[in-house]
Structure 1
């Protein structure tokens, strides 16, 4: 048998002895480009893991102050919250003893902000880019949120102290709003530097009168100062070492009223026992929602009638709602957790405008009485005339 040579080895097929074609030389430009790309990639990788001098605020969990401790309203914690609410060991977030309480429908949700960055925590460039691109988050220099040279432990201690003070002020304000009198012992622990009280009052002095009027509650003192023009002198009666002493103090200005320039350590005689269990939540901004929860639980009428109202704001002992930080994030957190209404401090209205999520209606409040009237109107379906931030 014979074979056709062209089938086995065509004339144009290379033979084993043929020399391969020479490779094209690599140009200097190609080498430079490759090195540049590699260097850029390495620099980008390094930059992505370097900490930045920023902190990020994001919507935090919300809590129903009429519910049980730890029953978070976040989507991630919803199932766990439901279990907590059904647990026999779960305790009310706000509990009242020593007075009649009533069943309530609806929710009063305090709102929080989650902060990434600051003492003990770094924010990476990718997080910053995400924060800049998000409507729900804000990126700020760390020092605008946390004081310089503050450790994580120190920041935690400050936050816990603010929460404890907030709980006490909310309780005093709520009980006063309900008609109770809350006697107080107002002990001076120091004077502000440069104030009219410096060198006049002494640590341990107990305030007993102002301009001749007895001071038996914290509200008595604040109401008396409301009638004084900042800069005027007042006669401050104190008990010092068991004796009555009248002091002349030149007032300054603080929180929109005349101020004595003293630091007080108040001790209250509560006519009703109120326990607040905030869990891991710190800071002063839940005061308004705590006070509303106390009032709602102690009022026979079901003011909310099933409505879900979120809110924020500090609370002073005389019922003034104060400004807070991160309200834009709190608005989004409230919407995420099912709130239809949001109570915002009047002094925060400039941050509210333009940042209200779709479907959320914001009511501005300046006092606890405003907030109470608002939830009553919402529950009654008569909220059309409530003031807004627009």
Structure 2
């Protein structure tokens, strides 16, 4: 008999002549059958696990995305270029922040990504319908993101130029009246607004200021051009959530006194508006607002300088920290998501307007940050 190479409590299957005897042949057949069954079961289990892992899941996973310095360069070209005005050197960084999204139309997340999102505190998981409208296609998402980015850049440019003292003329054309408001049936598509209460309208800000200074429900006289002819119309203003509105959708076309172009690829959406505006101001003014500091932030920007809410702010906080920011500018309206979720090493100040954001950058750049409002301060003010 051969000596077994491994210890065993089974009889040696080989006879002296090298042939299996009857008893050993039955044992080998049973062992082979068991091994085959176990192997098949293991393969099936692995295949099922792999299949489950890569099955599309009805969730969206948000992760910290890349950040971009609006004072830096993109492919060797300044991200913000200006012509028609002097450009001043700027130190420091003003970083716009982004969110990377897995899941949604055309790009479904799998179970492994969703599981990672639930485990990792830097990520967030949401049902698809909480982020994307039902039946929206990947092409429609991309088109919307591109349109939002273009609008964001234009709004930021108008707000920034106005903040540094430029007049930005605008032609304001009515797209449509909002049903149920005082403008419905009074203002018509293609009407061009030329005056408010007898005062000529040169800028969009003048119209906004006129409306905000009017008590809701009050009638105002608008001068319009309709089919090329001047016409005065009386429009009752409307109250919406405590705000006075005119009740029309407008398509303003701006005559920029300074040509500003923003070179950035593969980033969409409206949330970079505040950081674009701050970057434009920094390069157009002799003051070195950022003062060598790395400052990140987010927020939409309206043409009249209001900072608006955005999505994914917790992921943006982590992205900012990862890329070296020590301060973060957060919209006041996102502060409830900020408190308790700020990564170590990052300080956050709340801003509601472009003027406040600029003051914050200047304070951070000069090292005088004692009086900057925190998100906790902003929430307390909202509750009082």
Deviation at 1:159, TM superposition (A): 0.9
Q: 1:358 to 1:24 in 2, by over 3 A?
A: same
State which of 231, 244, 249 in structure 1 corresponds to 2:235.
249
What secondary structure sits across from 1:239 in the alignment?
strand
- Aligned-partner Cα distance in 2 for 1:38–1:229: 73
Which residue of structure 2 lines up, in the alignment, with residue 350 of structure 1? 336
Deviation at 1:195, TM superposition (A): 2.8
Which residue of structure 2 lines up, in the alignment, with residue 285 of structure 1? 271
Deviation at 1:19, TM superposition (A): 6.0
State which of 179, 185, 188 in structure 2 corresponds to 1:199.
185
Deviation at 1:263, TM superposition (A): 1.3
What secondary structure sits across from 1:113 in the alignment?
strand
Structure 2 residue 23 is the aligned partner of structure 1 residue 20: yes
Structure 2 residue 60 is the aligned partner of structure 1 residue 55: yes
Structure 2 residue 129 is the aligned partner of structure 1 residue 126: no
What are structure 2's unaligned runs of at least 5 residues? Answer: 1-13, 377-384
Which residue of structure 2 lines up, in the alignment, with residue 171 of structure 1? 157
- Aligned-partner Cα distance in 1 for 2:103–2:172: 38
Structure 2 residue 206 is the aligned partner of structure 1 residue 220: yes
- Aligned-partner Cα distance in 1 for 2:22–2:205: 103
What secondary structure sits across from 2:210 in the alignment?
helix
What secondary structure sits across from 1:163 in the alignment?
helix
Which residue of structure 2 lines up, in the alignment, with residue 10 of structure 1? none
Confirm or deny: 8 A CA contact 1:225 1:257 kept in the other structure.
no
- Aligned-partner Cα distance in 1 for 2:267–2:239: 31
Number of aligned residues: 356
Residues 165-219 of structure 1 show CA distances to partners (whole Å, capped at 9, x for unaligned) of 1111111111111111111110111122333322221111011122333221000
- Aligned-partner Cα distance in 1 for 2:363–2:22: 95
What secondary structure sits across from 1:350 in the alignment?
helix
* Structural mapping, 1:144-155, within 5 Å: 144-155=130-141
RMSD: 2.5
- Aligned-partner Cα distance in 2 for 1:199–1:216: 25
Residues 58-114 of structure 1 show CA distances to partners (whole Å, capped at 9, x for unaligned) of 111110000112xxxxxxxxxxxxxx4xxxxx2111111111221111000000111
Which residue of structure 1 lines up, in the alignment, with residue 51 of structure 2? 46
Which residue of structure 2 lines up, in the alignment, with residue 388 of structure 1? 374
TM-score of the two chains, using structure 1 as the length reference? 0.85
Per mean C-alpha deviation after superposition, the further-off stretch among 334-343 and 236-245 is: 236-245
Confirm or deny: 8 A CA contact 1:94 1:275 kept in the other structure.
yes
Deviation at 1:227, TM superposition (A): 1.2
Per mean C-alpha deviation after superposition, the further-off stretch among 320-329 and 298-307 is: 298-307
What secondary structure sits across from 1:356 in the alignment?
coil
Deviation at 1:231, TM superposition (A): 3.6
